[in-house]
Amino acid sequence: MANVVVVGSQWGDEGKGKIVDWLSERADVVVRFQGGHNAGHTLVIDGKVYKLSLLPSGVVRPDKLAVIGNGVVIDPWALVAEIEGLAAQGVAISRDNLRIAENATLILPLHGELDSFREAQAGKGRIGTTKRGIGPAYEDKVGRRAIRVMDLQNVKTLPDKIARVMTHHNALRRGMGEAEIDGDQLYEQLRDIAPKILPYMDVCWKLLDEKRRAGRRILFEGAQGMLLDIDHGTYPFVTSSNTVAAQAATGSGIGPRALNYVLGITKAYTTRVGQGPFPTEQDNEMGRLLGERGHEFGTVTGRQRRCGWFDAVLVRQAIKTSGIDGIALTKLDILDGFKKIKVGVGYKLDGEEIDHLPSAQGAQARVEPIFETLEGWDETTAGARTWAELPAQAVKYVRHIEELIECPVALLSTSPERDDTILVHDPFAD
């Protein structure tokens, strides 16, 4: 049985939630492998809307096992709130359908506070973080002072671990003129939340190996988009984890040979939240129109997204660095009715044409897009479920995108409803 990795090929917000839900019906296990509760996935199932941040999208479907892998940083209070929110919508969460890796790192209240302190003091140099403590939690993980899920099992050992964390963070807080951490309060908070988290804890690398050997289909669900990858994204305006497909193996404890197909979720235009370069951005009436028609507001933050034309250069780059086999093209219907549609096909940097986004921050800020203008279409693509239902010019647009990004379209999404999807190639068929 094929195992599928789903990643965003732009800056996130590509519509992964719907596609992962669509695929999860064919999967047995759905795994989150990086990020934290800064991710936001919106699912629309039978007219009911579910908003998820930490929980894998498959958790809302019966008989699916959801796994939060070791590559995820977990805010236990946010996780409990999300579980309770789903319960209020009639979705029961138990050990039967949710497991959490014992070696996943916890996000503590002090991490969110540090995030906010830094952004407040950064001024024009701010990154645009969601202030949820994601970055500081990853810093503690790499700094080998993190508190992990397994540490909640024996609360007697927590004071020493909290002291180790405080040594680092109190030094930072003193330098910022902020109050030091109350270690006793943090201990009480962790002691109280532990019984709500520990029932889901498991040795997830072993669990996934058993599922794979038993022939179960596993779907690996990424958060954010590839252009926010800590190594391959628009650094420093990136997230604090690797968002490329290779992280599915590291962030879940499964070998890379178990990853059979990589699907890149790709919006038919481009959006971005927060700071950082955006070569094809339309900071004008066209950008506002795309935002209004596409309802471009962040699921988690509520922040309005910056909007622009499709950037084939960036998507092609994401396809190469993530090993994407096929894309799921989403929100094509938002382009309905446009007389002309532009596509970014290259860049100019200091007068010279280039075919990729450079890594240097200064160079990224200076690149100028080279646009190609295509004919639009008057008919609607919304709700189409076969190629025959699409306007001829819309089909031409999709085919031209395939040529520019050097990758085939495997799925085409024509509305937020899961069944409004044209299947060209089933990723699980590999």
Q: Please give the positions annotated as active site.
A: 13, 41
Separation CA 132–CA 118 (nearest Å): 12
* Pairing of the two strands 65-68 and 98-101: parallel
Residue 150 CB partners (closer than 8 Å, separation 6+): 102, 103, 201
Separation CA 422–CA 409 (nearest Å): 10
Region of 95 please: left (phi>0), alpha (psi -120 to 50) or beta. Answer: alpha
By the 8 A CB rule, do 91 and 60 touch? yes
DSSP assigned state of 405: H
For tokens 């068929």, the residue is 429
Could you count the other beta carbons within 10 Å of the beta carbon of residue 117? 18
Please tell me whether residue 341 adopts helix, strand or coil conformation: strand
Buried b (16+ CB within 10 A) or exposed e, 396-423: ebbeebbebbebebbbbbbbbbbebbbe
The encoded tokens of residue 179 equal: 């109050």
Residue 341 CB partners (closer than 8 Å, separation 6+): 309, 335, 373, 374, 375, 376, 397
Phi then psi for 223, rounded to 5 degrees? -120, 160
Buried b (16+ CB within 10 A) or exposed e, 279-306: bbbbeeeebeebbebbebebebbeeebb
For tokens 């629309």, the residue is 44
